[in-house]
Amino acid sequence: MAKAHSFSYQIGKKIDTAKVQKKMGGKLIGSVLESRIDEIKVHVFPSGRIRLTAQDKEYSELQQMIFNNTVGIISFIEELIKAAGVNTDAKTVMKTGKQDDAYDYDQSVIGEETRIPAGVMQMITISLYQFAGQFQASRTMTQAGEKEGRRLVKEKKPKNKKELLKLVKKFLEENSFGKMEEVKEEKRRLVDVILRVTSCAFASGAPNINEAICDFTRGVIRGAFAEFKGAETVSVKETRCWAKGDAYCEFEVYSLAA
Ligand SMILES: [Zn+2]
């Protein structure tokens, strides 16, 4: 798993960073509060995350700096909890400290109404396939999608397959990745579920480059199913795609014998 050069604590509660800035000082950049503890740069996110970074330093150096500044970090967290008026204590927050995963992005910084235009998504996707090649592009997109699919199931904990499908559908639709429906009329051998996606942000209206390119969506479905089943024997194939000349994208989910 790829690791980032930053370290985070979680307050576990949402934070009004503007309110905190008025009491504690620091710089408000958009919705992020920036402060400093010695040479360590501190970012407080509206989600309640406290991120420590050190510019142009290796992670091992940051670790050393964190160790040397333990007292300063504790008092910063204590002051922050007080300013934000949240019900927790510094000891609990300190226990959540961990090195960031490279995929640990924080959506609270972007805001929920943000949308990437589908044209931009498609340009990025098709360029990736053309320049990195099918194999690398596919791995890149699948990995990103799988992360999202797994996160979704871990967070929402669907109880059955119906809830799982509803969750994936909602995720794709709310993020404008596409509209999803289960195809039930044709039963194909060994296929667990058939999912059809229209208005696909990655491919709808794309030219035919004779490749199925919606590996992000494929990854979301695979990650969600694998996490739900607690098994890695799930395989998802994109059998139809706009970029293969179809007018919709279609995914077949296989659950191989566990
Ligand atoms: Zn597609």
More confident residue, 125 or 157: 157
Is residue 121 a contact partner of residue 203, using CB atoms and an 8 Å limit? no
Residues in contact with 174: Cβ distance below 8 Å, sequence separation at least 6, in sequence order? none
Query: What's the CA-to-centroid distance between 151 and ligand 1, angstroms?
Result: 22
Quote the mean pLDDT of the chain.
91
Q: Has residue 164 got a pLDDT over 80?
A: yes
Query: What's the CA-to-centroid distance between 245 and ligand 1, angstroms?
Result: 10
Q: Has residue 257 got a pLDDT over 70?
A: no
Query: What's the CA-to-centroid distance between 202 and ligand 1, angstroms?
Result: 7
State pLDDT tens for residues 181-211.
Answer: 999 876 667 788 999 999 898 888 888 888 8
Provide the β-strand partners of residue 136: none
Query: What's the CA-to-centroid distance between 248 and ligand 1, angstroms?
Result: 7
**Residue 248 per-residue DSSP state:** S
Query: What's the CA-to-centroid distance between 180 and ligand 1, angstroms?
Result: 12
Query: What's the CA-to-centroid distance between 116 and ligand 1, angstroms?
Result: 18
Query: What's the CA-to-centroid distance between 10 and ligand 1, angstroms?
Result: 37
Identify the pLDDT of residue 93. 96
Q: Has residue 113 got a pLDDT over 70?
A: no
Query: What's the CA-to-centroid distance between 37 and ligand 1, angstroms?
Result: 47
Q: Has residue 149 got a pLDDT over 90?
A: yes
Query: What's the CA-to-centroid distance between 49 and ligand 1, angstroms?
Result: 35
Q: How far apart are CA 28 and CA 47, in angstroms?
A: 15
Domains in the chain, start-ordered, CATH in brackets? 3-109 (3.30.310), 118-255 (3.30.1380.20)
Query: What's the CA-to-centroid distance between 242 and ligand 1, angstroms?
Result: 5
Q: How far apart are CA 116 and CA 226, in angstroms?
A: 28
Query: What's the CA-to-centroid distance between 117 and ligand 1, angstroms?
Result: 17
Is residue 37 a contact partner of residue 69, using CB atoms and an 8 Å limit? yes
Q: How far apart are CA 193 and CA 199, in angstroms?
A: 20
Does the reported pTM lie above 0.85?
no
Query: What's the CA-to-centroid distance between 51 and ligand 1, angstroms?
Result: 36
Query: What's the CA-to-centroid distance between 179 and ligand 1, angstroms?
Result: 12
